[in-house]
Structure 1
Amino acid sequence: MTAEALAYVILWASAAIATKFGLRSAPPLILASLRFTIAGLALMGGRCFLRQPLIPPRAWWTTLVFLGGMNTTVYLGASFLALSVVPAGLFNLFVSVNPLMVLIMEQVILALPVSRVQALGLSVATGGLVVGAWQAIVHFRTPLWGIGLLLLGQAAMAAGSVLFNTSKINLSPAVINTWQLAAGAALLWPIALVTEGAEPVQWNGFLWGSLLWLAGAVSIGAMLLWFHLLKRGGTRRASFWLLLTPIMGYGLGFVLLGESITLADLFATALVIVGIVMGQWSSNAGQPPHATTTPLRQ
């Protein structure tokens, strides 16, 4: 399981790196729309090739559109926009705290209790994000709107997670991922064309390499690995490996993009990891209070 988990973490963290390369050739929302379309069509083609049912039951269409809007259009659309100005390492730092964002959404929407340990963990992780954001603003001259888009994206992803867990949707992960990608692309394309339609797109190696990696290795490969990890080790063990994501994100950013790593980055990462560990554990039984996951990790 260790090799598979490490492969997943690398794929998870590499999404921001591949996006950075793709942004050299295409505007953010156009790039995101292309990625979702390619991944969705590939998944549909795979289901047709395997002679599996393609169209989901009508009863779940509204849920799938909402999941696509939250997990794909808003979360990843905002993420692609943010990555045009935000370092890849900081992006992965924000992504790693999504389970704690889910705790907030569950408390606000479902009125589920949050233990003192979880609240303290959330505070510690938030402190890490503040340190990381401050470092990006000062060192990389990252604009505040980029940080705001990261927060918007994580809030949308958390809302999608809450819906996914409360809807009790009885479709396979492959079907859910296929149609939320398709729905997300359909919702995002009009926005992308209106706001970025006049901007040039360079159909070069950077663009095709980015799209193939994001659609194949991340949207499809990482998804399959994630659910394999959930099946073999359960949510608790699988989620623990995500603690390596910010570390891997900063490392890949340093090696592939030349992004610097400072003591503030390391301190922020340490705070976030400690906060996540605390937030995932109940103060009563020592077990994760909510096994929350979503069908699309990135």
Structure 2
Amino acid sequence: MRPRHLALAVGLAAVWGFNFVVMEVGLRHFPPLLYAALRFALAAFPALLFVGRPGVPWRWVAGVAAAVGVGQFGFLLIGMRAGMPPGLASLVLQAQSLFTVVFAVTLLGERLTGRRITGLTLALGGLVLVAVDFGASGPFGAFMLCVAAAASWSVGTIMQRRAAPPDSLRFMVWVSALSTPPLFLLSFAVEGVPVLSAPLEGWLSLGYVAFISTLGGFGVWGWLLHRYDASVVAPYTLLIPVFGISSAALFVGEPIGWVKAGAAVLIVCGVLYAGTRPRSAPSPAPSPALAGRSSR
């Protein structure tokens, strides 16, 4: 990867990691489902007026909207509102890689190698460590909501992989548009009549997550995937919890203890080990005698 593209990939991880702190700020002024609905509404409009059709069957757009827009962000924001700290939420959400592998094996028939089993066992150990530590000091239900968000994200990843949209930014605009109505309906049913009298801080938070994190972030993500293999780009998402935990410690005072640090190492290393392929050893050069025989 070229140096400026490498900087772009790291910068994207920083934007998505800091996103958890920004969402924490937004949840001070909006209920979670309304916040998610407004996020996707802003990401979809007016961009929807300038992009073409998604380029894939509508069932895939609707499926990803249900899994990611409604499921992932609905569970995540409700979990954060229920007490899940932003840095820890960014770490637990990496469990989506574990769920993605499991779903890919069971639903797509992909092969589960010994390397993947080892990596996923490490990641699962880190997740259990987080659960035990947070369950002793915080609401366990909030932790499980973030795990549900990770599972929903993995379902959306599987569906997006099957859909293979030609333009990820255009696809994300349509996913945002289809996520908006059910989120507004759920917000009205669960949270009551929406109140939009938030201070400037709340609207700035929405602007960041809608335009910078969603549209800008997925635009950069798609741009990188068009130039490099997914196996080259995807590992940089493992930097998201690094930026998420550090920014949460810096801006909202979330403590970083040894348990959280150990869990982060297990999850990141496990996912990285499971998601990369070992380099194959170069085949030995034929001996001069064999080379001579093959030329005859």
The letter of the residue matching 1:210 is S
Runs of 4+ in 1 over 3 A off after TM superposition: 198-202, 282-286
The amino acid that maps onto 2:136 is V
Counterpart in the other structure of 2:141: 145
Which 10-residue stretch deviates more, 143-152 or 27-36? 143-152
Q: TM-score by structure 2 length?
A: 0.87
Contact 1:116–1:283 at 8 Å: present in 2 too? no
> Are 1:65 and 2:62 an aligned pair?
yes
2:218 is equivalent to residue 223 of structure 1: yes
Partner Cα separation in structure 1 for residue 114 and residue 271 of structure 2: 14
Quote the offset at 1:168 in angstroms: 4.0
**Which residue does the alignment assign to 1:116?**
114
Answer yes or no: is 1:206 the counterpart of 2:201: yes
Note the residue ranges of structure 1 that are not aligned, 5 or more in a row.
287-298
Shift of 1:284: 8.8
**Among candidates 172, 190, 199, match of residue 195 of structure 1:** 190
Matches within 5 A, 1:73-222: 73-84=70-81, 85-139=83-137, 141=138, 143-169=139-165, 171-198=166-193, 201-222=196-217
Alpha carbons of 1:166 and 1:284: their partners in 2 closer, same or farther (altered >3 Å)? farther
Q: How many residues align?
A: 276
* Mapped contact 1:100–1:122 kept (Cα < 8 A): yes
Tell me by how many angstroms 1:56 deviates: 4.5
Q: How far apart are 1:204 and its partner, in Å?
A: 0.4
Residue type of the alignment partner of 2:107 = I
CA contact (8 A) 2:231 2:276 kept: no
Alignment partners' CA distance in 2, 1:243 and 1:62:
30
Give the match for residue 290 of structure 1.
none
Contact 1:56 1:175 (8 Å CA) reproduced: yes
Q: Percent identical across equivalent pairs?
A: 21
- 1:286-297 map, 5 Å: none
Structure exhibiting the larger radius of gyration computed from Cα positions? 2
Which range moves more in the overlay, 206-215 or 240-249? 240-249
Match of 1:224, SS state, is helix
Note the alpha carbon deviations across 1:23-47, whole angstroms, 9 max, x for none: 11111111111111011114214x2
What residue in structure 1 maps to residue 22 of structure 2? 18
The DSSP-based 3-state class of the residue aligned with 1:259 is coil
Matched, 1:32 2:29: no
Q: CA 1:168/1:237 → structure 2, altered by over 3 Å: closer, same or farther?
A: closer
> How much has 1:224 moved relative to structure 2?
1.6
TM-score by length of 1: 0.86
SS at match of 2:41: helix
Larger displacement relative to structure 2 (160-169 or 148-157): 160-169
One-letter identity of the residue aligned with 2:176: L
**Counterparts of 1:80 and 1:28 in 2: how far apart (Å)?**
5
**Contact 1:118 1:283 (8 Å CA) reproduced:** no
Q: Is contact 1:87-1:136 (8 Å) kept?
A: no
* Alignment partners' CA distance in 2, 1:269 and 1:214: 24
